[in-house]
Homo-oligomer: A and B are copies of this chain.
Amino acid sequence: MMSNASVEKWGVFEAAFNGPSAGNPYLDVAFDAVFSQNSREVRVPGFYDGDGVYRVRFMPDNEGEWSFRTRSKASELNGKTGSFVATKPSAGNHGPVHVHNKFHFAYADGKPFLSFGTTCYAWTHQPLDMQAQTLDTLKKSRFNKIRMGVFPKDYPYNVNEPLYPCFEKGADGKEDFDRPNPVLFRHFEKQVAALCDLGIEADIIMFHPYDRWGYADMSAEQDFRYVAYLAARLSAYRNVWWALANEYDFLLDTKPLQQWDRYFHILEENDPYGHLKSIHNGEPTMNFDHRKPWVTHTCIQNWDVKRTQEWREAYGKPVVNDEPEYEGNIIQSWGNLTAQELVHRFWITATRGGYAGHGETYSHPEDLIWWAKGGELRGEAWKRIGFLRDLLEQDVVNGLEPMASFGEWPWTRVSGARDGDVCYIYLGEHQPVIWSTGLPKDGADYEVDIIDTWEMTVTPAKKVEAPIPHPTRHGAVVRGGKADAAFGVELPGRPYQALRIRKNH
């Protein structure tokens, strides 16, 4: 039993106890703890970690003294008590990320979280030196979220055996889906913690169809226990996001729709912190009904990124488009975009109020491809995505809100979004030589910069008189006939330019 223990706020407090090891403790032994601060009580599930050891992990969300008492029908695990002090969070610990301002995210301490994610589905199953390399690469990139599976992957360019089986093998040499392998899960959570140290959210994918080990075909009961087990082991890590699936729709034949709802409910029952929860589609026509209350944000795979406002309006939640296709040159059409096009899609998504995700799929003689295995980044988009993140983090506090609802002129054709006194207009494939729409209408002092999204330059724009277009009739509405802004700016007449407008105070 601990005493005089301390852990920082949003850190991981852990208590371990010896308990029954006969039979199958995963099935036979229920065990949780109630953590208390003053009159407040939080129920926290424990889990079996093999070798007769049971653990319970807790992430305090408030400083000060906490105590706990365990509960179990197994007497060794029942009524154990302890206490600890939650101290001030250390630098860089902002707590877990939650939905903020309806369409955006923030850390628990209020710091905005602008999601710039990447994808390394099976990086924790690669050789350890490659995993170290992945963490090194992440350290030098500017991604702050990574999509990663619990299970390994059986897929093109993904045929190597994982480091560890996910479940313990029985006497017959086959994995027993009723016995999670503690070695695998200890390793997995070590890497989740390593990401946390780098300030990177772990978007943990629970299920996917790309499987040769039988994980995709476990029974519903086994799935439910697995979800509860993940929640008990990992919820105390503040950087955890729950991604129920990669491409859930390709699993519907064996895991029907209501079963997916149940996974969400099990997380609600067993994750006391309410980490972010989402579910990712395969076919563009197969979005989950993200309006369901247990889905915290809209996770989407869709290349048609100008529809970002449509998804915001359809689901009323933050939109994370994690697969607007990947930069690369492999034969699969989801993985052979030019770097330019992926950067373009990031800018469009950001300036329509959403968050895009990155992946990189350049063919490699040994199939060492970032999107699945991590290792090294070989492309060009990641640098521009980092540039975009750095830019936005200078100004964005509440989240970029699109200039208009879905369908409103001209913000269907070009992209623009604002947050308070800062506004970004992304012109993409458009190359006007002069621009005024969306620029300020008042006489205040504004600073306008032209951003070359590919060259990563920021240049002060030359202000000019706003053009006065000849008036035109659109039904009862007359457009034009007067300038639509207090001033215009000259543009270089090249594509992939953005404007940043900031009010000087």
- Residue numbers of A with Cβ under 8 A of B are 154-159, 209-211, 216, 247, 249-253, 282-285, 303-304, 306, 325, 329-334, 336-338, 340-341, 363, 407, 409-410, 412-414, 427, 429-437, 467, 469-470, 472-476, 480, 488, 493, 495
A-B contact pairs, 8 of them (CB 8 A): A158-B470, A209-B472, A329-B432, A329-B493, A330-B433, A331-B437, A333-B413, A336-B431
The one of B154, B253, B333 in contact with A430, judged by C-beta atoms closer than 8 angstroms, is B333
Contact status A434-B473, CB under 8 Å: no
Which residue on B lies nearest to A344, using beta carbons? B429
A480 touching B363 in the complex, CB below 8 Å, given contacts A306-B304, A331-B469: no
CA distance A285 to B412 in the complex (A): 11
Closest to A284 in B: B412
A212 → chain B, closest Cβ, in Å?
A: 9
A330 contacts which chain B residues (CB < 8 A)?
Answer: 432-433
B467 and A435 within 8 A (CB): no
Say yes or no: A211-B473 contact (C-beta < 8 A), given A338-B431, A413-B334, A437-B331: yes
Known: A283-B407, A337-B430. 19 other contacts (CB 8 A): A209-B472, A211-B473, A216-B473, A250-B473, A253-B475, A284-B412, A303-B413, A329-B431, A329-B432, A329-B493, A330-B432, A331-B436, A331-B467, A332-B410, A333-B410, A334-B410, A334-B413, A336-B432, A338-B495
Query: In whole angstroms, how far apart are the Cα atoms of A315 and B163 in the complex?
Result: 54
In the complex, the chain B residue whose C-beta lies closest to that of A252 is B475
- Give Cα A161 to B433, complex, Å: 27
Residue ID in chain B nearest A468 by CB atoms: B156
Asked whether A329 and B433 contact (CB < 8 A) given A253-B475, A341-B495, the answer is: yes
Complex contact A210–B407 (CB within 8 A): no
Measured in the bound complex, the distance between the Cα atoms of B472 and A211 in whole Å is 8
Evaluate contact between A253 and B476: CB separation under 8 angstroms.
yes
Give chain B nearest CB distance to A55 CB in angstroms. 34
A473 to B410, CA, bound (A): 42
> Complex Cα distance A306/B341, Å?
15
- The answer on a CB contact under 8 Å between B155 and A429 is no
Q: Among the listed B427, B469, B495, which residue makes an inter-chain contact with A332, where contact means beta carbons less than 8 Å apart?
A: B469
Complex Cα gap A189–B336 (Å): 51
Task: Tell me the nearest residue of chain B to A491, going by C-beta.
Answer: B329
A154 to chain B, nearest CB (A): 7
Q: In the complex, A488 Cα to B410 Cα: how many Å?
A: 42
Docked pose: A283 CA to B474 CA in angstroms: 10
Which B residue's beta carbon lies closest to that of A432?
B336
Contact A337 B431 (CB under 8 A): yes
A236 CB to nearest chain B CB (Å) = 33
A452 CB to closest chain B CB, in angstroms? 15
A337 to B494, CA, bound (A): 10
Contact check, B476 vs A210: say whether CB atoms are below 8 A apart. Answer: no
Q: Are B210 and A473 in contact (CB under 8 A)?
A: yes
User: Is A475 in contact with B338, judged by CB distance below 8 angstroms?
Assistant: no
* A424 CB → nearest B CB, Å: 16
Closest chain B residue to A477, Cβ basis = B250
User: When the two chains form their complex, are residues A472 and B155 in contact, meaning their CB atoms are under 8 A apart?
Assistant: yes
Chain B residues contacting A341 (CB-CB under 8 Å) are 429, 495
User: In the complex, A341→B428 CA distance in Å?
Assistant: 10
Contacts of A407 in B (CB 8 A): 283-285
Shortest distance between the CB of A149 and any CB in chain B (Å): 14
User: Given contacts A304-B304, A331-B437, A432-B330, are A157 and B475 in contact (CB under 8 A)?
Assistant: no
Contacts of A216 in B (CB 8 A): 473
Contact A159 B250 (CB under 8 A): no
| Chain B residues in 8 Å Cβ range of A435 | 331
**Once the chains are docked, how many angstroms separate the CA of A338 from the CA of B409?**
20
Query: A341 to B329, alpha carbons, bound, how many Å?
Result: 21
The docked-state distance in angstroms from the alpha carbon of A429 to that of B335 is 11
